[in-house]
């Protein structure tokens, strides 16, 4: 168990490094700025909680200091609102989904099964589309327009409203 004096010193050292950060949207509006509790501060707070005898809080802070799956768990997301519940499962890289929130599991979760393309930003391509599938389809109306044909190079075409005749024939024969 860490000594309380050491835990306090480590926490204060981490807190001294805090500074305001602009929000993701409207960074020019200072009401949108925040102070991020980075991994170093969260681990220091975890040690302080452990030294204070709060094992539960220490474990929670330690978990929060690692990259987490931030997939929203709310059934309905209204435009312009933030989800109230998040997954929070530890992941290897910040921004990645956990194994249960990849496009391969989207159908089980009642979400669009589109998997993105190789040319897209890698994190967004691994995220589940948050929209529900259209009636009679496994994709939402927006992503249903992307070609699903697997080309000779083993990659999915993924062109929006694809006009390649062989791809159209394959899609019609689904």
pLDDT digits (tens, 9 = 90+) for 130-146: 788 888 888 898 888 88
Average pLDDT, the chain: 80
CB 47 within 8 A of CB 58: yes
C-alpha 163/C-alpha 147 separation (Å) is 9
Check whether 148 has a pLDDT greater than 80: yes
pTM for the model stands at: 0.62
Count the alpha carbons within 13 Å of 59 in the hemisphere toward its beta carbon: 3
pLDDT digits (tens, 9 = 90+) for 68-116: 988 877 665 555 566 667 888 889 888 888 888 887 888 888 888 887 7
pLDDT digits (tens, 9 = 90+) for 156-167: 888 888 888 888
What are the tokens at 41? 């501060």
């Amino acid at each position: 168990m860490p000594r309380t004096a050491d835990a306090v010193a480590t926490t204060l050292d981490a807190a001294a490094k805090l500074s305001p950060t602009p929000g993701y949207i409207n960074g020019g509006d200072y009401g949108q700025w925040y102070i991020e509790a980075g991994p170093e501060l969260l681990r220091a707070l975890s040690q302080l909680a452990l030294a204070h005898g709060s094992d539960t809080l220490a474990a929670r802070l330690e978990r929060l200091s690692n990259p987490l799956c931030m997939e929203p768990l709310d059934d309905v997301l209204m435009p312009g609102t933030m989800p109230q519940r998040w997954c929070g499962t530890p992941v290897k890289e910040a921004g990645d989904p956990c194994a249960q929130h990849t496009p391969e599991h989207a159908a089980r979760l009642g979400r669009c099964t589109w998997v993105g393309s190789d040319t897209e930003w890698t994190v967004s391509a691994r995220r589940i589309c948050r929209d529900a599938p259209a009636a009679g389809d496994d994709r939402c109306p927006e992503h249903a327009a992307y070609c699903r044909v697997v080309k000779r190079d083993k990659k999915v075409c993924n062109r929006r409203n694809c006009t390649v005749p062989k791809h159209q024939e394959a899609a019609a024969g689904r």
